[in-house]
Amino acid sequence: FNDPILRRNVSLYMGGKLLGLALVLVIMLLVIPKAVHAATGATVQTPEINAINTVWTLIAAFLVFCMQVGFVMLEAGFARSREAVNILVEGIADTCICGILFWAWGFAFMFEPGTPWIGTTGFFLNGLGPTYLTTGVPVLAYWVFQFAFADTASTITSGAMVGRCGFWGDIIYSIGVTGFIYPIVGHWAWGPDGWLAVMGFKDFAGSTVVHSIGGAISLAGAIALGPRLGRVFKRDGGGPPPAHDLIIGAVGGLILWFGWYGFNPGSTLSALDIQGIGRVSFNTTMAACSGGLVALFISYARSKKWDLGLTVNGFLGGLVAITCPCYWVSPTGAFFIGIVAAVVVVFGLDLLEYLRIDDPIGAVPVHLLAGIWGTLSLGLFATGQFGAPTPTGADTSSVITGLFYGGGVSLLGTQVVGSLSVVIATLVISGLMMFVLKKIGVLRISEKHEIEGMDIAEHGASAYPEYALAGVLPSLIGH
């Protein structure tokens, strides 16, 4: 795949396919019948129960939205000052694009019935019943919750692409992610008739659906873009440029942890399930704590320095990993899942550095690799006490059980299939999209603009025009 002509032809061919797919989907929007779960989605809960569950879902949605604050601070803080404005514009533009597309067709593709591969009803939320399926939660409230999730996936995609992606490229790939890749691949696992869902694949709050998809796109983008100018890797005698504002970056990490309390516990869509929301909140906390502490000690063991960046990525890795299994594992399980996640993140960072892939904030190890680990971990640690959540509590009539709790390898196998399918499909599709964007020349900014600084060149502003910088050139050569 290193032959430029082959690359160009494949890119053009697949890019054409992608555009064709988009066209077909738009036509579907116009001709396909409206959704019908208005009739079938009867709920038997009382108004009080539906109100409690809706309050829970909406407040969780608001906390997940707050993760946008965390993401932009984390990314901007860990980047160089010359590319910080770009990160903010990108994060906000993503959010805006996501809101509009997820209304127009994203929600329909992902959460409405249709085929095992894609939802085909409910475009612009037309024709839907008052509440989503049997949840008792209004469709518009549920949409806000799922919009915030889609927005998270969308923002993750930018993580490994910081500092050299042109803004037209940003806009186009954001449309691809929020409008097509995330909702279509997500339908497989979370759609009412998705093929992975039907097969028994479980991903409670999205280690795979949100984090692995976002992280895989990020990886495809980083490979397509290549490293920033002047980025020298460790094996070549360099290393990642230092975070330009560690305080903002680490505060962003803590705000993400805060927002995760909406992400995971809110995914019950039910507060009547009091044991479920308590358990998920506990497990989320525990995996973050063990992940953070392990990364901290690994950093000290390696360098005799207590590294802030690694510690933050450690607890984020724990949070990503516990996102899939948090409903079904015990406190002890959460503790060990966090520990392994931190190890995965640390060695993932090393691996990317070795492979000379420039991932400025560690999006690939944290979201893709820890997401895969978390998805698989359910097959090991599911306690066999709980099935799927319902509006009033866990369904205990069909529980899931992992290998360590006597359930054999069946669940683990399903998790492997689900994780691999999603990751490979996402890598292939997003890789094609990125290379098409590269071919048409909108993916990477020009060398002239990159030397000038992308904030100035693309956004006409420096993040901190009044501060004197200690020197611009060194930051261009990797330090």
Binders of a second copy among 415-454, rule CB under 8 A? none
CB of 162 to a second copy, least distance (A): 14
CB of 127 to a second copy, least distance (A): 13
Select the span of 28-36, 214-222, 249-257, 422-430 touching a second copy (CB under 8 A).
Answer: 249-257
Number of amino acids touching a second copy (CB under 8 A): 113
CA distance 407 to 235: 44
The SS3 of residue 269 is coil
CB of 173 to a second copy, least distance (A): 15
Based on CB atoms, which residue is closest to a second copy, 41 or 253?
Answer: 253
Among 123, 188, 233, 261, binds a second copy (CB under 8 A): 261
Listed in sequence order, the residues at least 6 apart from 334 whose beta carbon sits closer than 8 Å to its beta carbon are 282, 283, 284, 286, 287, 290, 322, 326
Q: Which of 116, 139, 129 is closest to 34 using CA atoms? A: 129
Question: Is residue 150 a contact residue for a second copy (CB under 8 A)?
Answer: no
Based on CB atoms, which residue is closest to a second copy, 70 or 194?
Answer: 70
Q: Which of 394, 375, 135 is closest to 276 using CA atoms? A: 394
DSSP annotation of 238 reads: -
Select the span of 108-116, 222-230, 346-354, 469-477 touching a second copy (CB under 8 A).
Answer: 469-477
CB of 278 to a second copy, least distance (A): 3
Based on CB atoms, which residue is closest to a second copy, 16 or 331?
Answer: 331
Q: Are 296 and 306 in contact (CB under 8 A)?
A: yes
Listed in sequence order, the residues at least 6 apart from 98 whose beta carbon sits closer than 8 Å to its beta carbon are 106, 147, 150, 151, 154, 174, 178
Burial class (CB in 10 A: 0-12, 13-18, 19+), 372: buried
Based on CB atoms, which residue is closest to a second copy, 195 or 464?
Answer: 464
CB of 248 to a second copy, least distance (A): 6
- Footprint of a second copy on 75-114 (CB under 8 A): 76, 80-81, 84-85, 88-89, 91-93, 95-100, 103
Among 59, 232, 388, 417, binds a second copy (CB under 8 A): 59
Please give the backbone phi and psi of residue 152, each rounded to the nearest 5 degrees, phi first: -60, -50
CB of 37 to a second copy, least distance (A): 16
The enclosing H or E element of 389 equals: strand 389-390
- Footprint of a second copy on 306-345 (CB under 8 A): 306-309, 311-312, 315, 331-332, 335
- Footprint of a second copy on 30-49 (CB under 8 A): 46-49
Among 74, 139, 372, 380, binds a second copy (CB under 8 A): 139
CA distance 401 to 379: 7
Based on CB atoms, which residue is closest to a second copy, 65 or 201?
Answer: 65
Among 192, 200, 281, 385, binds a second copy (CB under 8 A): 281
Q: Take residue 42 and report the two structure tokens written for it.
A: 């009867």
Question: Is residue 62 a contact residue for a second copy (CB under 8 A)?
Answer: yes
390 pairs with which residues across the strands?
393
Listed in sequence order, the residues at least 6 apart from 48 whose beta carbon sits closer than 8 Å to its beta carbon are none
Based on CB atoms, which residue is closest to a second copy, 141 or 349?
Answer: 141
CA distance 391 to 214: 29
Using only C-alpha atoms, the chain has a radius of gyration, in whole angstroms, of: 22
- Footprint of a second copy on 361-390 (CB under 8 A): none
Based on CB atoms, which residue is closest to a second copy, 148 or 219?
Answer: 148
- Footprint of a second copy on 159-188 (CB under 8 A): 167
Question: Is residue 478 a contact residue for a second copy (CB under 8 A)?
Answer: no
Question: Is residue 140 a contact residue for a second copy (CB under 8 A)?
Answer: yes
Select the span of 51-59, 154-162, 377-385, 412-420 touching a second copy (CB under 8 A).
Answer: 51-59
CA distances from 410 to 31, 175, 256, 376, 400 (A): 41, 37, 33, 12, 10
CA distance 75 to 85: 11
Based on CB atoms, which residue is closest to a second copy, 268 or 419?
Answer: 268
